[in-house]
C-alpha cells in the first residue's frame, strides 16, 4: 500500500495523559499536513511541513500540541495533558508540489482520539 498511513487508528485516553500519533506520507511527497476534524465539521488545518521544516501552525495548535517531521519523512503529533475538547479525528495528508504550483493533498485514514 503506497498511500498515507496513520497509527494508531483509534486511541482512548484519560484526561491529563499524553498521546502521540504517527503519520507516514506517500514516500516521494515533500509536504505533510495535519488536520483535525470534529463531528459535523470539515477538517481544520493544524500545521504544515515542507520536508523537515514546520512552516505554519494554526492558532488551533495550542502549546500542548507539538509536531515533528525528522528527516522529512514520517511525522508525529503529540498532545500533552489531553483535555476532553481534544477528542476528534486527527488527519494527516501529504502532497508533492513545486514552487507556485497547486497541489492535491492525499489523506490518511485518520486517528480517532477519545479523551475520557
Partner 1 sequence: DQQVKQNSPSLSVQEGRISILNCDYTNSMFDYFLWYKKYPAEGPTFLISISSIKDKNEDGRFTVFLNKSAKHLSLHIVPSQPGDSAVYFCAASWVSGGSNYKLTFGKGTLLTVNP
Exposed, middle or buried, 14 (CB in 10 Å: 0-12/13-18/19+)?
exposed
Which 8-state DSSP code applies to residue 7? Answer: E
From candidates 55, 83, 114, 116, binder to partner 1 by CB under 8 A: 55
We find the least distance from the C-beta atom of residue 77 to partner 1, in angstroms, to be 15
C-alpha cell at 58: 494554526
Toward partner 1, which CB reaches closer, 7 or 44? 44
- CB burial of residue 26 (10 Å; 0-12, 13-18, 19+): middle
Cell of 26: 506517500
Instruction: Select from 14-22, 41-49, 64-72, 74-82 the region that touches partner 1 (CB under 8 A).
Output: 41-49
Under rule CB under 8 A, how many of the chain's residues touch partner 1? 30
Chain contacts with partner 1 (rule: CB under 8 A)? 4, 6, 31, 33, 35, 40-45, 48, 50, 55-56, 91, 93, 95, 97, 99-100, 102-110
Amino acid at each position: 500500500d503506497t498511500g498515507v498511513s496513520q497509527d494508531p487508528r483509534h486511541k482512548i485516553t484519560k484526561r491529563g495523559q499524553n498521546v502521540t500519533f504517527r503519520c507516514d506520507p506517500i514516500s516521494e511527497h515533500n509536504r505533510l499536513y495535519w488536520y483535525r476534524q470534529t463531528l459535523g465539521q470539515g477538517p481544520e488545518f493544524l500545521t504544515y511541513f515542507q520536508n523537515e521544516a514546520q512552516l505554519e501552525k494554526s492558532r488551533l495548535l495550542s502549546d500542548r500540541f507539538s509536531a515533528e517531521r525528522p528527516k522529512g519523512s514520517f511525522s508525529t503529533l503529540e498532545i500533552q495533558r489531553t483535555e476532553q475538547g481534544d477528542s476528534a479525528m486527527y488527519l494527516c495528508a501529504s502532497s508533492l508540489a513545486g514552487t507556485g504550483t497547486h497541489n492535491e493533498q492525499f489523506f490518511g485514514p485518520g486517528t480517532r482520539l477519545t479523551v475520557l
